[in-house]
Amino acid sequence: MLSMIFIIREVVQLRARGFNIDVASINAADRSTEGLTAVEANEAALTHYIKPQGARGALMAHWQTLRRDWRGYLRGLRLVFELGRTDLRDVFYNLMYFTEALMVGVWMQRRGQQHLHAHLGAQAATVAMYVKAVFGFGFSITVHGPDEFYDAPGQYLGRKVEMADFIVCISHFARSQLMKLSAYEHWHKLEVSRLGVDPSVFLPRPFEANPEVFEIICVGRLCPAKGQHILVEAVEQLLLEGRSVRLRIVGDGPDRASLERHVHRLGRQREIIFEGAVNQDRIRNLYARAHIFSMPSFAEGIPVVLMEAMSMEIPCVTTRITGIPELIRDGIDGLLVAPSSVDELAAALGRLMDDAELRETLGHNGRLRVVEHYDLEKNVGRLGDIFQRRLGGAASEPARA
């Protein structure tokens, strides 16, 4: 998926460190090959896709697993009814996860792999949990949050903590939420390893003290959790004050039609522009034109797009929620506002527009923050150390996963 480029970055760097990584995806790619960057296209070619194998692939996985290890197969079925309980809908979905897990497990056997890492804590981790139950392979997760925390029972988070060999949390906030859901005896499994970006790729753009039109950019999936309607309202306030400002909304998703209707109703189609989904080959050009980055989210892990903007010395205005304050210290590396507050967001954007020195200082400090704590190479090194230590390999023999 376009929004999962940060996973590709980690995989590529771990491979460069000698790790033997095979990648499986439950779903097919969300774009045609023509819409992929060179790095994405290469990863797409290497990826093993589950659902496109269809009913034949599913039936073959059931038969092969039953024939080779009927006890493991029954363990998986038992877990289906344990998790699904008496809810027929839940039982059905768990049967689907069980089937996908059989397809993944058979593929892992062919590849000689014995540890499965799920890079998201929701359904992908549920499939991985079934892989462990049936095949006995090692099992770990990267947990981002916050979506899975809102439906912790439905995502079986407590059970995942119990069954996982270890869990990588991208923030202390994420770690705290898993602590809340699990017994103290399992807390030793919870590791913190931050995401990151490459500061040598996301380089500072030239600072413009007095732009004729202030460019604000928002990058992210267009969905309710991102709060883009709040940003549209805040920009409308700035325009009504007589300010010269333009907002570029980069991304796509289920809220696009609603946002476009909102902008049309305000009559601001010239001032608020929808750029659509943009891959990594073009995103830096859009960043380079921006004077302020804003993301008024209601729910987040720690957005990588914030790190990208900060690395390019674009001052950021976002919300003080979940793990974001671990990345941005209010008034030092950026400005934090209350989620849902149009007035606070508009005031913070206006403050930056009026104060060139503050914009420059926050931009400079933001890049320093990324270089020190959210540098991709350093943080992938930390992640590699976790895999190495947890999977028991020697330093000279990077793990398979």
188: left (phi over 0), alpha (psi -120 to 50) or beta: alpha
Residue 396 in this model has a pLDDT that exceeds 60: no
Spell out the alpha helix ranges (H) of 54-155: 54-68, 70-84, 88-111, 123-135, 147-150
Q: CATH number of 214-373: 3.40.50.2000, 3.30.360.10, 3.40.50.150, 2.60.120.960? A: 3.40.50.2000
- pLDDT single digits (tens) 98-109: 999 999 999 999
* DSSP H/E element including 49: strand 48-49
Return the pLDDT at 92: 97
Return the pLDDT at 39: 87
Q: Are 304 and 171 in contact (CB under 8 A)?
A: no
Return the pLDDT at 394: 46
Residues of the chain with CATH 3.40.50.2000: 2-196+376-391, 214-373
Mean pLDDT of 207-232: 97
* DSSP H/E element including 191: strand 190-192
d(CA 68, CA 151): 36
Question: How much is the pTM?
Answer: 0.92
Q: Which pLDDT band holds residue 395 (cuts at 50, 70, 90)? A: very low
In 198-291, the DSSP E strands lie at 214-219, 245-250, 272-276
Q: Are 105 and 181 in contact (CB under 8 A)?
A: no
- pLDDT single digits (tens) 247-294: 999 999 999 999 999 999 999 999 999 999 988 778 999 999 999 999
Mean pLDDT of 69-78: 98
Mean pLDDT of 51-55: 95
What DSSP designation does 182 have?
S
Percentage of residues of the chain with pLDDT beyond 70: 98
Mean pLDDT of 86-91: 94
The CATH code of domain 2-196+376-391 reads 3.40.50.2000
Return the pLDDT at 393: 60
